[in-house]
Structures are given as C-alpha cells and as structure tokens.
Amino acid sequence: MSKDFKVPKYVFRLLLFSIIVAAPTIVMPVVLPKYSSPALPFIVLFFFFLTLFTLYIVLRDSSMRESKKFVSGYIVSRTVKFMTCLLFMLIYIIVNKEDRWNFAFAFLIIYFLYAAFEVFIIKRENDKLSQQQRERQQQESQE
C-alpha cells in the first residue's frame, strides 16, 4: 500500500450506519422473538459489504463521476446489487422455509435503509466534487 492511501469518509459513515442498523437487529430476537429472524445480523453484514462494494464501484474515480462513465458505473452497481440481493434472498428462503416471511420482511426493510443511505452518500460525494470543480474554475478564471 502506498503512503498516500486514505480511507474514504464514506467507509466510516457506512460503518457507523451499519452499527446503528445492527443494534435493533441484535435486540429484536430478545424483545420480539415471534417477529424476529435469526438471520437479522447476517442481513446487516451482507448489506454492509454489498453497499461498500457498490459505493466503491460508483465513487472509485473522481474523473469518472464527471462523465457518462458515472451513469454506466451506477447502473452496473445497481444491477449487481439487485441480482445479489435476489440470489441471497432466494437461497435463504429455499433453505429455511419456516422463517421466510420474517426474513423477507426484515430483508426488505434493511434493503430500503441501505438504499436510502447509498443515495445520500453518492449525492453528498458528487456535491462535494461539484463544489471542488467550481472552486477550481473560479481560481482559473481569476488567474
């Protein structure tokens, strides 16, 4: 690893968000065991790594975010995320039929939480990049 490597802020935000989402999933089996799936913590872990991967795909190169490559990278990340989620859900439901409804409900809730978080992060990162570009253009025009 080079000395210039810096962990992006979105990784820390994702980790914090995942801890916040994981807290109720750990408490829920104790408080509401009838409505809880034993897979809840694993769903959060699954979405942590999947969201980390999709954010990396979309935000890995700031020059890519300026071009049409951003759109294709975003579409690829959405497709990979959707197919992976579908496969994960399908495998779990086939293997563990008695828990399918609790699992599916929890999975969808956590999916939407992470999807909203992902949109927030991508918008924030792109806004920051746009601001930096405007500042550079202002500096160039002043020179």
* Residue 66: per-residue pLDDT: 59
* Residue 4: per-residue pLDDT: 63
* Residue 67: per-residue pLDDT: 64
User: H or E element: which one contains 27?
Assistant: helix 9-31
* Residue 77: per-residue pLDDT: 85
* Residue 107: per-residue pLDDT: 93
The rounded distance, in Å, linking the Cα atoms of 72 and 120 is 19
Assigned token pair, 79 = 């497709």
* Residue 13: per-residue pLDDT: 92
CA 30 to chain centre: 27
Q: What is the pTM of this model?
A: 0.81
Q: Which residues of the chain have pLDDT under 50?
A: 1
The rounded distance, in Å, linking the Cα atoms of 95 and 74 is 32
* Residue 25: per-residue pLDDT: 86
The rounded distance, in Å, linking the Cα atoms of 23 and 18 is 9
* Residue 2: per-residue pLDDT: 52
* Residue 3: per-residue pLDDT: 60
Assigned token pair, 22 = 């994981």
Q: How many residues does the chain have?
A: 143
Packing angle between helix 69-95 and helix 100-142, nearest 10 degrees?
A: 170
* Residue 12: per-residue pLDDT: 92
Helices marked H in 39-99: 40-59, 69-95
